[in-house]
């Protein structure tokens, strides 16, 4: 149990900035606009005490690339009256005038008090909307927090925000599995938040459909929420994520998860992480989110959790600093990862010149060295 708390402290003291975002196309005062909705974890920002309160300051940078052209902007934010140590989420929205098309989008959030930052990239499709008759993008949430990658572990508490635009009276219809609803729409812009109560699932996904009809014409918007994510449906992917947990949890519960039948994986996975939930009074499990973020990173960028770099990142998290030396005379490429908060460093060498970095310091490093 001591080892678990040592690892747990490492999870909660990561310097990286934790944020979730959801982009959508809407109609604004000047025409078509991109809105980027953000959830930012206050616990990953530096708090400064001023009087009896704590404040934080951060910046949001958004860069859009299309047809070899780039545009962007930066917004500075200061939030006052925060409570130190309390679990808090900042809700922010950035609005940008935009034209239809495909874009590469980069979002960077920087802590202005510590100069640490986090960058996320995605492809963005901006479709054309009419203020006379159309429906905006869906912004999906779960218990008032944004949904990442349209995937949730269960359907409870999901919501969908959208806006309906019509120059005449119209009817709005919304369906999700066995849930149906309809609303009379007045001319202008109508904001709508749907919280469907779904009693029966026929697949591991839910199709959300919004339609407006008026004078024989209609406009439809469709989106999908995946239930249980792909880790429960894909046998190899599921077992890989469970096996990686052996570096973090020394528990026979992992055998139960590995042997679980596909239809039981969702509930057993939820029960496992609920046991270790640092804030059981909230809907979010920070430890589970952190684990999934780390393993997704090592699988996408470090060759998987079985590599030396992947193993260290999975257990230790993002380094405070990475000193890279890709081109050095008479020595192989190498990297040094520094973790200042715990006075640790890791040195990796590309000993064969093939881009495959091996851990050379500390020698024989073992995640359970403090056990």
| Domain spans, the chain | 1-127, 130-229, 235-361
Pairing of the two strands 344-349 and 358-361: antiparallel
Q: What is the CATH number of domain 130-229?
A: 2.60.40.10
Going by the DSSP 8-state scheme, the letter that residue 288 receives in this structure is H
The span from the CA of 192 to the CA of 173, in Å, is: 11
The CATH fold of domain 1-127: Immunoglobulin-like (2.60.40)
Q: pLDDT 10s per residue in the chain (371 long)? A: 333 434 443 444 444 688 899 999 999 999 999 999 999 988 788 889 888 788 999 999 999 999 889 998 999 999 998 877 666 889 999 999 999 999 999 999 999 988 888 899 888 999 999 999 999 999 999 887 898 778 777 777 899 999 999 999 999 999 999 999 999 999 999 999 999 998 877 777 889 999 999 988 999 999 988 776 556 666 777 888 888 898 888 777 888 888 888 778 878 888 898 888 888 887 778 888 888 888 878 877 788 898 999 999 999 988 888 888 877 667 788 999 999 888 999 999 988 777 788 999 998 887 764 33
Phi, psi torsion values for 182, nearest 5 degrees: -145, 150
State how far the Cα of 96 lies from the Cα of 136, in Å rounded to an integer. Answer: 15
Alpha-carbon distance of 83 to 55, in angstroms, equals: 9
Strand ranges (E), 293-333: 321-325
Residues 124 and 126: their CA atoms lie apart, in Å, by 6
Per CATH, 1-127 and 130-229 having the same topology is answered: yes
């Amino acid at each position: 149990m001591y080892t678990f708390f040592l690892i747990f402290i490492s999870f909660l003291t990561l310097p990286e900035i934790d944020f979730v975002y959801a982009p959508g196309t809407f109609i604004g005062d000047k025409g078509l606009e991109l809105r980027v909705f953000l959830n930012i974890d206050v616990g990953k920002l530096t708090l400064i005490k001023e009087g009896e309160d704590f404040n934080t300051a951060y910046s949001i940078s958004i860069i859009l690339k299309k047809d070899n052209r780039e545009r962007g902007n930066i917004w500075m934010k200061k939030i006052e009256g925060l409570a130190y140590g309390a679990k808090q989420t900042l809700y922010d929205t950035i609005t940008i005038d935009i034209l239809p098309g495909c874009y590469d989008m980069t979002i960077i959030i920087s802590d202005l008090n510590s100069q640490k930052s986090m960058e996320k990239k995605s492809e963005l499709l901006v479709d054309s909307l009419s203020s006379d008759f159309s429906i905006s993008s869906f912004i999906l949430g779960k218990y008032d927090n944004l949904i990442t990658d349209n995937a949730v572990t269960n359907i409870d508490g999901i919501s969908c925000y959208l806006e309906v635009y019509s120059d005449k009276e119209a009817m709005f219809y919304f369906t999700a599995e066995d849930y149906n609803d309809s609303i009379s729409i007045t001319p202008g812009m109508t904001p709508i938040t749907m919280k469907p109560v779904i009693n029966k699932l026929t697949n591991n996904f839910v199709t959300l459909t919004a339609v407006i009809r008026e004078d024989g014409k209609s406009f439809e918007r469709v989106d999908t929420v995946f239930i249980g994510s792909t880790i429960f449906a894909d046998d190899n992917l599921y077992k890989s994520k469970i096996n990686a947990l052996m570096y973090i949890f020394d528990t026979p519960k992992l055998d139960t998860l590995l042997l679980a039948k596909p239809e039981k994986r969702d509930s057993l996975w939820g029960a496992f992480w609920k046991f270790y939930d640092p804030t059981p009074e909230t809907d979010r499990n920070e430890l589970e989110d952190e684990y999934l973020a780390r393993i997704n990173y090592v699988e996408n960028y470090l060759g998987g959790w079985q590599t030396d770099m992947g193993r260290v990142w999975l257990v230790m998290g993002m380094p405070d600093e990475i000193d890279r030396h890709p081109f050095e005379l008479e020595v192989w490429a190498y990297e040094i990862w520094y973790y200042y908060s715990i006075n640790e460093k890791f040195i990796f060498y590309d000993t064969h010149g093939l881009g495959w970095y091996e851990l050379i310091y500390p020698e024989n490093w073992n995640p359970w060295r403090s056990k």
